[in-house]
Amino acid sequence: MLFDSPAYFVFLIPVVLLYWRLNCRAKNIFLLLASYFFYGWWDWRFLALMIGSTTMDFLIAQKITPDRCDANRRKWLIFSLVLNFSILGTFKYFNFFVDSFSTALNTLGIHNLPLSLIRIILPPGISFYTFQEVAYIVDVYKGRLAPAKSFIEYGLFVSLFPHLIAGPIQKPGHLLPQVQRNRVFDADRFFDGLMLIFSGLVRKCVVADNCALLANAAFSGQFGKPNFWVVLLGTYAFAWQVYGDFSGYSDIARGSAQLMGFHFMVNFRQPYLSRRLQDFWRRWHISLSTWLRDYLYIPLGGSAGGNWKTSRNLVMTMILAGLWHGAAWTFVIFGAIHGLVLAIERLFWPVKMKAADGAQPKPYAGLLSGWGERILTFNVFCLSLAFFRAPSLNLARQFLSGLSNLAWRSEYASAFFMLAIFAIPLFVVDLLMEASNEEYPFANASYAVRTALATVSLVVLALFSGSNLNAFVYFRF
């Protein structure tokens, strides 16, 4: 049930209509059942796994609150963390380790072992709901949040369908209190939710799906052997594909939640306007980057302990972030590139804090302007995406080896023109949102203006939607 499919809206519309006819407790029960139905639509076999882990963490949370003088509090916390990460590791990384072991045996001359027959199916959304459960357990243990008294409320916090499959990862202190209190219909917020859905559909179906056609052609060799221009086209197209794809998904998720009175955190804030990779990760997939900061980077030691330890913690955090995205060595390299660049930035170009202006990055030795810094940061990100997109390290190496070949072909011009047609409008929207600091384009405009824009969005969707065969990129994580 993809967010850009008719099936999703056939599901969403009656759910929203019935939801607002119920009282508070009935709303939560109804939404929990609807969310389990939504998850079961993907694969009903994994419902028991999600419900089981939800039940376990609900019960453990009652035992680890700071006001309990229980010597086993820490043991229960460790048990929950080990259980959650073991489930995630088994389902997400078992095949990765089997394949790596098989490759190592082949290198040693041991062939024909039937390891390829051993495979485990990845449950939908397991990376997202596991991180949300871990955040809840840690926050309860540290006294940041009172444990939920109702399984219905906690179960809905974990499985609320707009964020269930691909996030955004919701902070327990942000979403759980919303689940626990009554939601009252607000026409303005409902209208904002509809606008977010329209915005997300345009980002996904128009920008991402059309850029995907170019990225797939470049990475699959349809433009010929990789050269400088093919690498540039492929990585730039994929950069706008993955941005339009996941920011579009996040907007649809946030809009769907807002139709039912919930507020989800903003997950993207114009990341391609970042002047540093440090700033980029404050703007890109914000729900994941804040989770990594709060529950991984800081527990590892954060920026305490000197430059070497800070650099080590950054690299470790980003390598694990890469592995979170997928069980492949390409994702390890993707994370390592980001970790190393973040460490270098912090050592040589630290961010200076000013009370009036916020974070102010130190210029790159005065050599680049603000836009020069943005272009450099964007290209570093695109370089890392070559590993993110390629199915193997060898294919990524072959693709990037074309950078030394500057041969030009006439068909490249039309391909770059097509990329510009779909990327530049989203870039202009980002410039407008950066200036206005709004949660979606023209959020403060009149109802008439926004209704007109929604109508234009429907026309654009009808005329310019790309291939409907491209599932959301982050659904596989």
Which of 85, 166, 197 is CA-nearest to residue 130?
A: 85
Domain identity same for 166 and 239: no
CA distance 349 to 360: 10
Of 184, 211, 238, the one marking the end of a domain is 184
457/452 Cα distance (integer angstroms) = 9
Its pTM stands at 0.88
Tell me, yes or no, whether 457 lies in a domain: yes
Does the residue 322 lie in any domain? no
CA–CA separation, 263 and 170 (whole Å): 10
Residue 300 lies in a domain: no
> Quick one: how far is CA 430 from the chain centroid?
18
Per-residue pLDDT, 355: 43
Mark whether 169 and 207 lie in a shared domain: no
Distances (CA, A) of 102 to 117, 159, 390, 395: 11, 36, 20, 19
- C-alpha span between 326 and 319 (Å, rounded): 11
Residue 317, domain member (yes or no)? no
Assess whether 159 and 89 both reside in one domain.
yes
Question: In this structure, are 195 and 174 located in the same domain?
Answer: no
Same domain, 98 and 203: no
**How far is 343 from 310, CA to CA, in rounded Å?**
8
**325 is annotated as an active-site residue:** yes
Residues 82 and 231 in one domain: no
Same domain, 169 and 250: no
The verdict on 138 and 253 lying in the same domain is no
Which residues, other chains included, contact 295 with Cβ-Cβ below 8 Å and sequence gap of 6+? Answer: 131, 134, 135, 138
In the listed set 134, 155, 184, which residue is the last one of a domain according to the structure? Answer: 184
- Structurally, the chain folds into a number of domains equal to 2
Of the candidates 163, 285, 325, 338, the residue annotated as catalytic is 325
Classify residue 288: in a domain, yes or no: no
Q: What is the pLDDT along the chain (477 residues), one digit of tens a residue?
A: 788 889 999 999 999 999 999 988 899 999 999 999 999 887 788 899 999 999 999 999 999 988 877 778 899 999 999 999 998 888 877 655 445 544 554 555 554 544 444 445 667 788 889 999 999 999 999 999 999 999 999 999 999 999 988 879 999 999 999 999 999 999 999 999 999 999 999 999 999 999 999 999 999 989 989 999 999 999 999 999 999 999 999 999 999 999 999 999 999 999 999 999 999 999 999 999 999 999 999 999 988 888 899 999 999 999 999 988 887 889 999 999 999 999 999 888 776 554 444 555 555 545 567 899 999 999 999 999 999 999 899 999 999 999 999 999 999 999 999 999 999 999 999 999 999 888 777 888 888 998 998 999 999 998 888 765 555 555 555
The verdict on 212 and 199 lying in the same domain is: yes
The verdict on residue 400 lying in a domain is yes
Range of the domain at 32: 21-184
Of 129, 154, 184, the position where a domain reaches its end is 184
Please tell me whether residues 153 and 224 are part of one structural domain: no
- Report yes or no: 241 and 388 within 8 Å, Cβ to Cβ: no
146 and 200 assigned to the same domain: no
Query: Cβ-count burial of 44 within 10 angstroms (0-12 exposed, 13-18 middle, 19+ buried)?
Result: exposed
User: What is the SS3 assignment for 390?
Assistant: coil
pLDDT at 357: 46
Instruction: Confirm whether 110 is domain-assigned.
Output: yes
Under 8 Å between Cβ of 46 and 39: yes
| Cα 353 from chain centroid (whole Å) | 27
Report if residue 308 sits inside a domain.
Answer: no
Q: Which amino acid is at 2?
A: L
Assess whether 220 and 152 both reside in one domain. no
